[in-house]
Structure 1
Amino acid sequence: MTTFIFRSLAVQVMLVTACLGFSLSAQAAISLSGTRLIFEGKNKEASIIVRNEGSKVLVQSWIESNTPGDSGELPFAVTPPLAKMQPNGQQLLRVLYAGKSDLPTNKETVLWLNVQEVPEQVEGENTLQLAIRQRIKLFYRPAGISGTAADAATGLTWQLVQQAGKPALRVVNSSAFHVPINTVDLSAMAQQEKLSTPFMIAPGETHYLTLKNAGISPQARLSFKAVNDYGGVDTFNAQLVSGTPVQAQRATP
């Protein structure tokens, strides 16, 4: 069996199969019970369920830093790190915290939980099998940090400013939590502008979104969507005032 791990799966699989003449066995069999995992520091562990909807697979799990190139030891362990799963089976993954680390104690830390499935050997020559990896964010929240994640999006401050001589929308996160933003829209009269691709603003971070429409009114209405702890999307609105930082309110259903 030849096993490859690809991130840009569709493109690279086409290239490999076309060039090498392999038949392909690649189908994600496992799924996770959540799109993110929240680890509250007051608890000893956090858990997530892995479901196998295919044939027998070997599942390998581990934690990675959110900092590119950081290969240092992390104070977390996943158990079981390696598990055999039967068809239609389930496996509970537990993430444990060692309790002593250099992680900040006054703000949230983001890491990655990796869950990789390795299929069993299949019959036939020249068969290409893929070890498919799923990654979800692990949010570690130390006990005692101020505020709540549910209020972090309303705590963001937004302001129309000039950056390098160009109009921009500045957003500042003064909370202790990360805020994943899906969309940002500005509208004023007949003018409307959609800003950026999804991004996540970290605790204490300032982020700038460049405006393509230089003529957008300084009195524009702001609307943005943020991802909550459950993977759902909440909408927030604010009325911008020229040169004044403002905070948004959660939209009512």
Structure 2
Amino acid sequence: MLRRTISACLGALSLVLASQVSAGVSLNSTRIIFNGSDKEASITVRNGGQQALIQSWIDNADATDTPAPFAVTPPLARILANEQQLLRLLYEGSGMPTDRESVVWLNVQEIPQAVHGQNTLQLAVRQRIKVFFRPTGLAGDARLAPEELQWKLELRGGKSVLKVRNPSRYHVSMADVTLGSANSSEVAVDSTMVAPGEEKEFSVKQPASSSGVELKFSSINDYGAQVPYAAKLSAGNSVGATATRSNRDS
């Protein structure tokens, strides 16, 4: 009886917290593209709940202590209920690679208001999104970068390995990378991002000797939309994927 009561209370608490988070602070985008030709980029923070205080900052994607050459203004802001706040991202003008796209992270944290005389559980909710810095004059096209990925299914140490290499100068974010054949289908990885020049490997069950293995994945474009891609893999050969729906208008 006690166990059922505790479970019911935890379930109710989860629903309350979920409703509070969904009704609170939110961002109007899942990513920011910062073009090197621009002096700044911006994002809107909306407050659908009670008056809130937010703190914002940028850090490096590698989680090092080295500060990123960016600033957010205002770093601290109070947003009234059902109002919004524009955050401006400023680049120092140097410190980022000029031959490829780079990624830093924007953090927006809601600071809970103090509640006096009550026993309450307060949560500091932090949202973290990627900021893609694109230098001026960068070769290639970010929209076509997913097609430049080179995929290969090979056998190593008696196990099948799916390899992907990104020869482009842009990051490629993907979701639902799957392999399928007449006999089986599997998810190689739920989500991943391949940096410029990076190569990644995933252990899979699909036999590397199989021919005609179908690869499918969704690439996430600059607007946060998912664009499906597909390719036919054959043992030991590197191939590129083709969009099954255009991402130019997504």
Measured against the shorter chain, the TM-score band is 0.7 to 0.9
TM score, norm. by length of structure 1: 0.85
Distance (whole Å) between structure 2 residues aligned to residue 164 and residue 59 of structure 1: 51
Give the alignment of 1:100-179 within 5 angstroms: 100-101=94-95, 103-179=96-172
- 1:99 corresponds to which residue? 93
SS of the equivalent of 1:246 reads coil
SS of the equivalent of 1:27 reads helix
Distance (whole Å) between structure 2 residues aligned to residue 164 and residue 37 of structure 1: 41
Q: Is the 8 A contact 1:50 1:90 kept in 2?
A: yes
Q: Amino acid of the residue matched to residue 60 of structure 1?
A: Q
Distance (whole Å) between structure 2 residues aligned to residue 109 and residue 67 of structure 1: 11
Distance (whole Å) between structure 1 residues aligned to residue 198 and residue 216 of structure 2: 20
Q: Which has the higher contact order (CA 8 A, sep 6+)?
A: 1
Q: CA deviation at 1:151?
A: 0.6
- 2:84 corresponds to which residue? 90
Verify: 1:198 aligned to 2:198, yes or no.
Answer: no
Q: Is the 8 A contact 1:160 1:218 kept in 2?
A: no
Verify: 1:72 aligned to 2:66, yes or no.
Answer: yes
- 1:32 corresponds to which residue? 27
Query: What does the per-residue CA deviation read over 1:179-199, in whole Å, with 9 as the maximum and x for residues that have no partner?
Result: 111011222223222212211
Distance (whole Å) between structure 2 residues aligned to residue 252 and residue 164 of structure 1: 37
1:25–1:105 distance in 2 versus 1, CA, 3 Å: closer
Verify: 1:182 aligned to 2:172, yes or no.
Answer: no
Consecutive unaligned residues of structure 2, counting only runs of 5 or more, are 1-9
Q: Is the 8 A contact 2:209 2:235 kept in 1?
A: no
- 2:212 corresponds to which residue? 219
TM score, norm. by length of structure 2: 0.86
Q: Amino acid of the residue matched to residue 223 of structure 1?
A: K
Consecutive unaligned residues of structure 1, counting only runs of 5 or more, are 1-13, 18-23
Query: What does the per-residue CA deviation read over 1:121-148, in whole Å, with 9 as the maximum and x for residues that have no partner?
Result: 2243333322211111111111111112
Q: Is the 8 A contact 2:218 2:229 kept in 1?
A: yes
Residue 233 of structure 1 is aligned with which of 181, 204, 226? 226
SS of the equivalent of 2:143 reads helix
- 2:44 corresponds to which residue? 49
What's the % identity of the aligned pairs? Answer: 45
SS of the equivalent of 2:234 reads coil
Distance (whole Å) between structure 1 residues aligned to residue 206 and residue 232 of structure 2: 18
Distance (whole Å) between structure 2 residues aligned to residue 73 and residue 205 of structure 1: 23
Distance (whole Å) between structure 1 residues aligned to residue 142 and residue 18 of structure 2: 41
Distance (whole Å) between structure 2 residues aligned to residue 90 and residue 134 of structure 1: 16
Query: What does the per-residue CA deviation read over 1:86-106, in whole Å, with 9 as the maximum and x for residues that have no partner?
Result: 1101100000001021x2111
1:223–1:184 distance in 2 versus 1, CA, 3 Å: same
Q: Amino acid of the residue matched to residue 241 of structure 2?
A: A
